[in-house]
Amino acid sequence: MQNKKIILTENEIPEHWYNIVADMPNKPLPPLNPGTKEPIGPEALAPLFPMALIMQEVSTEQYVEIPDEVRDLYRIWRPTPMFRAYGLEKALDTPAKIYYKYEGVSPAGSH
């Protein structure tokens, strides 16, 4: 029988987020100032977001450490199950393994 649902225990919650930008051959363009249309840096975002969040967003590191405070909150609402999409894999006739998460039961919703 194939496992369709993967559930992590609280002590298996990751300590790092994977940053796909680090592995992209063509990096995304920086955000633009809506008035000047010029690229903006982290300092321009500081009035809107905490600097720690900005630094995560602009990081070029492959793995970004998840703050302990966030991991503590994840233990309340996470981990949500991850499902293997066997039917989609078959329909696409792909050798790839496809997984998805259903976040509808999370108070924060799906993102």
Q: Which two tokens stand for residue 98?
A: 């496809």
Asked if 19 contacts 63 with a C-beta cutoff of 8 angstroms, the reply is yes
Q: Tens digit of pLDDT for each residue in 29-82?
A: 988 998 999 999 888 889 999 998 899 888 999 999 999 998 888 888 777 788
The secondary element (H helix, E strand) that includes residue 18 is strand 16-18
Q: Which two tokens stand for residue 89?
A: 């894999």
The percent of residues above 90 in pLDDT, for the chain, comes to: 46
The alpha carbons of the chain give a radius of gyration, in whole angstroms, of 18
13 falls in which pLDDT band (50, 70, 90)? Answer: confident
Give backbone dihedrals phi and psi of 70, rounded to 5 degrees, phi first.
-70, -45
Has this prediction a pTM greater than 0.75?
A: no
Q: Is the peptide bond before 31 cis (omega within 30 degrees of 0)?
A: no
pLDDT score for 102: 78
